[in-house]
C-alpha cells in the first residue's frame, strides 16, 4: 500500500458519515484529474456544483479515484458501501484491457485461432473476453447497490479520437503472406494523400483493411482522414473508433490506455437493466461539440480530460446525482458555469506536462506544439520550467543529479515536481524541445542557440562516441515498436527483453549530434534474419544521402562506414537504414508466438526486416578507413 499512496488523493482520514449528503467518486486516473491532480480534480469540480445546488455545508464528495485502477474497481465499489454513501459515481474503463497478455490457460485456444484464422481470431477472442468481464463487473456491483438502495452513477469513458494516433506499423503476419501487397497499397495510398486524391487513397486503404481484417490502425487512419477531407464526419468517427479498437490483441508493444467499443456497449446495456444513472461521455461530447469529433479541446492526451472536459463531465454527473438523490431534474448545461476551474498557473503547468506526455508517446509535432503554446498563453511564468527542462533533457548527467532538477524542485509546484521529476526520462526530444523553443519565442525568449550549444557540448560525436541504440537517441527515431526492447521502464506483464534492436519496417531511423565539416565513422553489426525477396543490399543514408550499401547477410556481420564531412550537419543528423523486402511467412510466422505468450516474452506478431546488435557513431578523423567507394565521397568496409 505504501508504494501506491501517490496514486490516491491525499486524504489522511475519512470521518464517519454526518448530516451531509455523501457522494463518493471512484475510478482511475481520468477520475483523478491526471496532470491537474492534486491542484484540481474532478471531485473538486463535482463538489462545487453540488454545493451550489444543496448548500455549501450540505454535501461532501469523497475522492477515492486511484491512478492505474483496473478491474479491481469492482472490489473498491463494493467496499465503499461501508462509508454509507448517499450516491456513488464510478468513472472507469480505460484500464480494462481484456485477455492480452493472456493467462496460460488461454494460450492453447489462442494457438488454434492463430493457426486457423490469423490475428483476427485472437482479436475477436479478446473482445469477447473483455465484454464478458465488463458485464460481470456491472452486474456484481449494480445488483448489490440495488439491494442496498444506494443510487449508482456510471460514467462511460470516451477516447481522444480527433488527435491521438497510434504509430503506423506493418500489419501482423497475414495469411498467405500478403504483407508485401499490403505495404504496396500503403505506399500508393500515401502518394494519393499527398496528391490530395482522397477517393483513390480511400479505395487503397479499404483494400488494406480487407487484407488485414481491421487488425491494424494504418488503413483505418487513412480512411478516417479521407472521410474528414470529404466532409463525412460520421464516417471519420467510425473509422477512428475502429482504429482505436484494432490494437486490443497486441501485447507486443505498449498501447495507451483506452476504452473499447465492446466495453462501452456492455456498460450501456448492463446499466440499463438496473436503471442506473449513466453519463455517456461519447454522446455527451458529441452533443457538446455539435457533432464534432472529440479532440484536444476536451483531452490532454489519449483519455485524460482538460478543464473543459472535466467541467462538462462533472456537470452531467451532478445532474445524475440530483436526479437520483433528490428527484430533481436539472439540465447539465445549466450546471457547467457553476463549477470551479484551476488557476492560470495550474493550467499552464498542466498544458506543459501534456506536451511532455504526448511527445513521449510519439504524438504529432502539431499536437506537442499546441500544448507548449497553450502553456505560455496561460502563464508566462512557465518559461522558467521550460528553460530548466531544456537543460534537464539535454544533459548526459542522470536527471535527478542535474542542477536543473534541483531548480525545478525548488519552484514548489506539486504538479511539476510530481509528474516531471517522477515520471520523466531523459531523451533527445527533438519534437518536444523544438515545441518548447517555439513557445518561448512568443515570450521573446530565444532558446534555440543555447539548446544547440548544449547538445553540441554534451552529445557531439566529435567529442565522444555515441551509441545510437541507447534509449536517449533511439527514441528520437519515432518508431516506438522498435524501442520497446530498450525502454527504461517496462510493463511488468512482460518479463523478458530482447538483447538487440529489431526492425519491423522497411526503414529504421536513428540520429546523432554532429558538427558540420567533421567526418563521422559509423560502426554497425547487423543481419537480415529472414529470407529476402531479392538480393538488394542494406542501404544506409545520412541526411538523405546514401553513404553505404551493405551486402545482405543472414548471420551477424560488422561494417564500418565513413560519412564524409560535407554530408554532416551541425546538430541533429538523421540516419536511415533501409532493409530489403523479406519473404513474408504468412501464418507460419506465428509458430513461435505461443511459446512467447506462455513464457511471458514479447510475442513476435510481426515480421522482422532486420536486426542490429551494435550501432555507434564516432569522430571520423580518428581513424582513416580505406575501402571500395560506395559513392564519390563515402566508403564502407567489412570488419572481421
pLDDT digits (tens, 9 = 90+) for 272-298: 999 999 999 999 999 999 999 999 999
Q: Above 50 in pLDDT, residue 12?
A: yes
DSSP H or E run through 510: strand 507-514
Q: What is the DSSP letter of 565?
A: G
Quote the pTM value: 0.95
Q: Above 80 in pLDDT, residue 511?
A: yes
Confidence label for 2 from pLDDT (cuts 50, 70 and 90): low
564 occurs within a structural domain: yes
**Percentage of residues in the chain having pLDDT higher than 70:** 95
109 occurs within a structural domain: no
- Region 519-529: mean pLDDT is 97
Q: Same structural domain for residues 325 and 451?
A: no
- Region 14-37: mean pLDDT is 98
Q: Same structural domain for residues 303 and 351?
A: no
* pLDDT tens digits along 205-234: 999 999 999 999 999 999 999 999 999 999
* pLDDT tens digits along 40-61: 999 999 999 999 999 999 999 9
Q: Above 70 in pLDDT, residue 176?
A: yes
Domain stop point among 319, 341, 363: 341
Give the pLDDT score at 629.
41
Q: Same structural domain for residues 591 and 504?
A: yes
CATH number of the domain to which 583 belongs: 2.60.120
DSSP H or E run through 267: helix 261-273
Q: Above 50 in pLDDT, residue 626?
A: no
Give the pLDDT score at 447.
98
Q: Same structural domain for residues 301 and 398?
A: no
Q: Above 70 in pLDDT, residue 161?
A: yes
Domain stop point among 406, 427, 459: 459
DSSP H or E run through 550: strand 545-550
Q: How far apart are CA 278 and CA 320, in angstroms?
A: 7
Give the pLDDT score at 514.
98
Q: Same structural domain for residues 141 and 280?
A: yes
Q: Above 70 in pLDDT, residue 535?
A: yes
Q: Above 60 in pLDDT, residue 1?
A: no
Q: Above 50 in pLDDT, residue 627?
A: no
Q: Same structural domain for residues 294 and 388?
A: no
Q: Same structural domain for residues 215 and 144?
A: no
Q: Same structural domain for residues 454 and 600?
A: no
358 occurs within a structural domain: yes
Q: Above 50 in pLDDT, residue 364?
A: yes
Q: How does strand 538-542 pair with strand 545-550?
A: antiparallel
Q: Same structural domain for residues 76 and 221?
A: no
Give the pLDDT score at 251.
83
Give the pLDDT score at 193.
98
Q: Is the dihedral of CA 197, 198, 202, 203 positive or negative?
A: negative
CATH number of the domain to which 42 belongs: 3.40.50.1110
Confidence label for 254 from pLDDT (cuts 50, 70 and 90): confident
Q: Is 400 exposed, middle or buried (0-12, 13-18, 19+ CB in 10 A)?
A: exposed
Q: How far apart are CA 455 and CA 84, in angstroms?
A: 58
- The mean pLDDT value of the chain amounts to 93
Confidence label for 104 from pLDDT (cuts 50, 70 and 90): confident
Q: How far apart are CA 299 and CA 317, in angstroms?
A: 18
Biggest CA pair distance of the chain: 87
Q: What is the DSSP letter of 464?
A: S
Q: Same structural domain for residues 70 and 32?
A: yes
* pLDDT tens digits along 131-158: 999 999 999 999 999 999 999 999 999 9
* pLDDT tens digits along 449-504: 999 999 999 999 999 999 999 999 999 999 999 998 888 764 444 444 578 999 99
Q: Above 80 in pLDDT, residue 266?
A: yes
- Region 368-372: mean pLDDT is 99
Q: How does strand 507-514 pair with strand 571-578?
A: antiparallel
* pLDDT tens digits along 56-101: 999 999 999 999 999 999 999 999 999 999 999 999 999 998 767 7
Higher local confidence (pLDDT), 254 or 266? 266
Confidence label for 624 from pLDDT (cuts 50, 70 and 90): low
Query: What is the secondary structure of 298-359 as a DSSP string?
Result: TBSSSS-B-HHHHHHHHHHHHHHHHHHHH-----HHHHGGGS----HHHHHHHHHHHHHHHH
Give the pLDDT score at 635.
58
Are the CB atoms for 16 and 85 separated by under 8 Å? no
Q: Same structural domain for residues 500 and 615?
A: yes
236 occurs within a structural domain: no
Q: For the packed helices 430-441 and 365-378, what is the interaxial angle rounded to 10 degrees?
A: 40
216 occurs within a structural domain: yes
Distances (CA, A) of 601 to 174, 299, 594: 21, 33, 10
129 occurs within a structural domain: no
Which residues neighbour 227 within 8 Å (Cβ) at sequence distance 6 or greater? 202, 233, 235, 236, 239
DSSP helix/strand/coil, 636: strand
Domain stop point among 412, 440, 459: 459
Q: How many domains does the chain have?
A: 4
331 occurs within a structural domain: yes
What dihedral angle (degrees, nearest 10) is formed by the CA atoms of 12, 17, 18, 19? Answer: 130
Range of the domain at 47: 5-11+21-99+134-163+255-341
Q: Same structural domain for residues 43 and 146?
A: yes
Q: Above 90 in pLDDT, residue 567?
A: yes
114 occurs within a structural domain: no
Give the pLDDT score at 639.
58
Amino acid at each position: 500500500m505504501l508504494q501506491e499512496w501517490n496514486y490516491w488523493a491525499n486524504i489522511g482520514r475519512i470521518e464517519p458519515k454526518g448530516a451531509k449528503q455523501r457522494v463518493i467518486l471512484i475510478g482511475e486516473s481520468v477520475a483523478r484529474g491526471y496532470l491537474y491532480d492534486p491542484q484540481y480534480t474532478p471531485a473538486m469540480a463535482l463538489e462545487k456544483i453540488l454545493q451550489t445546488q444543496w448548500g455549501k455545508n450540505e454535501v461532501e464528495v469523497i475522492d477515492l479515484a486511484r491512478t492505474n485502477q483496473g478491474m479491481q474497481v469492482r472490489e473498491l465499489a463494493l467496499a465503499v458501501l461501508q462509508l454509507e454513501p448517499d450516491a456513488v459515481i464510478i468513472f472507469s474503463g480505460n484500464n480494462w484491457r481484456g485477455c492480452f497478455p493472456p493467462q496460460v490457460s488461454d494460450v492453447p485456444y489462442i494457438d488454434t485461432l492463430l493457426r486457423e484464422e490469423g490475428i483476427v481470431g485472437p482479436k475477436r477472442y479478446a473482445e469477447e473476453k473483455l465484454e464478458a468481464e465488463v458485464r460481470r463487473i456491472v452486474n456484481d456491483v449494480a445488483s448489490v447497490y440495488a439491494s442496498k438502495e444506494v443510487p449508482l452513477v456510471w460514467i462511460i469513458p470516451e477516447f481522444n479520437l480527433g488527435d491521438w494516433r497510434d504509430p503506423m506499423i506493418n500489419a501482423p503476419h497475414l495469411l498467405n503472406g500478403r504483407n508485401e501487397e499490403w505495404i504496396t497499397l500503403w505506399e500508393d495510398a500515401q502518394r494519393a494523400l499527398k496528391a490530395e486524391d482522397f477517393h483513390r487513397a480511400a479505395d487503397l486503404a479499404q483494400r488494406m483493411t480487407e487484407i488485414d481484417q481491421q487488425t491494424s490502425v494504418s488503413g483505418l487512419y487513412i480512411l478516417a482522414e479521407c472521410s474528414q477531407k470529404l466532409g463525412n464526419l460520421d464516417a471519420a468517427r467510425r473509422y477512428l473508433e475502429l482504429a482505436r479498437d484494432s490494437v486490443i490483441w497486441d501485447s507486443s508493444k505498449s498501447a495507451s490506455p483506452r476504452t473499447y467499443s465492446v466495453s462501452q456497449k456492455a456498460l450501456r446495456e448492463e446499466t440499463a437493466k438496473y436503471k442506473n444513472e449513466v453519463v455517456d461521455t461519447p454522446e455527451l461530447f458529441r452533443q457538446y461539440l455539435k457533432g464534432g469529433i472529440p479532440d484536444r479541446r476536451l483531452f490532454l492526451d489519449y483519455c485524460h480530460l482538460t478543464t473543459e472536459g472535466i467541467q462538462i463531465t462533472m456537470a452531467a454527473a451532478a445532474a445524475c446525482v440530483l436526479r437520483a438523490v433528490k428527484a430533481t431534474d436539472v439540465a447539465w448545461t445549466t450546471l457547467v458555469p457553476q463549477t470551479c476551474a484551476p488557476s492560470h498557473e495550474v493550467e499552464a503547468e498542466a498544458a506543459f506536462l501534456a506536451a511532455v506526455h504526448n511527445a513521449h508517446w510519439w504524438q504529432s509535432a502539431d499536437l506537442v506544439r499546441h500544448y507548449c503554446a497553450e502553456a505560455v498563453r496561460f502563464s508566462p511564468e512557465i518559461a522558467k520550467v521550460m528553460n530548466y527542462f531544456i537543460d534537464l533533457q539535454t544533459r548526459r548527467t542522470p536527471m535527478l543529479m542535474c542542477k536543473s532538477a534541483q531548480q525545478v524542485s525548488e519552484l514548489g509546484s506539486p504538479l511539476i515536481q510530481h509528474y516531471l521529476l517522477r515520471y520523466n526520462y531523459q531523451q533527445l526530444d527533438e519534437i518536444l524541445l523544438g515545441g518548447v523553443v517555439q513557445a518561448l519565442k512568443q515570450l521573446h525568449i530565444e532558446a534555440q542557440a543555447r539548446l544547440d550549444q548544449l547538445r553540441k557540448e554534451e552529445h557531439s560525436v566529435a567529442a565522444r562516441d555515441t551509441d545510437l541504440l541507447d534509449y536517449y537517441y533511439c527514441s528520437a527515431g519515432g518508431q516506438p515498436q522498435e524501442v520497446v526492447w530498450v525502454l527504461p521502464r517496462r510493463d511488468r506483464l512482460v518479463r523478458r527483453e530482447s538483447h538487440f534492436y529489431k526492425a519491423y519496417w522497411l526503414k529504421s531511423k536513428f540520429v546523432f549530434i554532429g558538427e558540420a565539416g567533421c567526418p563521422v565513422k559509423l560502426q554497425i553489426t547487423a543481419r537480415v534474419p529472414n529470407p529476402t525477396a531479392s538480393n538488394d543490399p542494406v542501404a544506409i543514408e545520412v541526411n538523405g544521402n546514401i553513404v553505404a550499401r551493405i551486402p545482405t547477410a543472414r548471420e551477424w556481420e560488422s561494417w564500418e562506414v565513413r560519412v564524409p564531412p560535407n554530408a554532416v550537419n551541425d546538430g541533429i543528423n538523421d540516419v536511415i537504414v533501409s532493409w530489403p523486402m523479406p519473404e513474408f511467412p504468412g501464418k507460419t510466422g506465428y509458430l513461435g508466438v505461443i511459446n512467447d505468450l506462455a513464457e511471458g516474452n514479447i510475442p513476435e506478431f510481426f515480421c522482422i526486416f532486420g536486426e542490429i546488435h551494435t550501432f555507434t557513431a564516432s569522430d571520423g578523423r580518428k581513424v582513416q578507413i580505406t575501402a571500395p567507394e560506395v559513392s564519390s565521397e563515402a566508403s564502407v568496409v567489412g570488419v572481421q
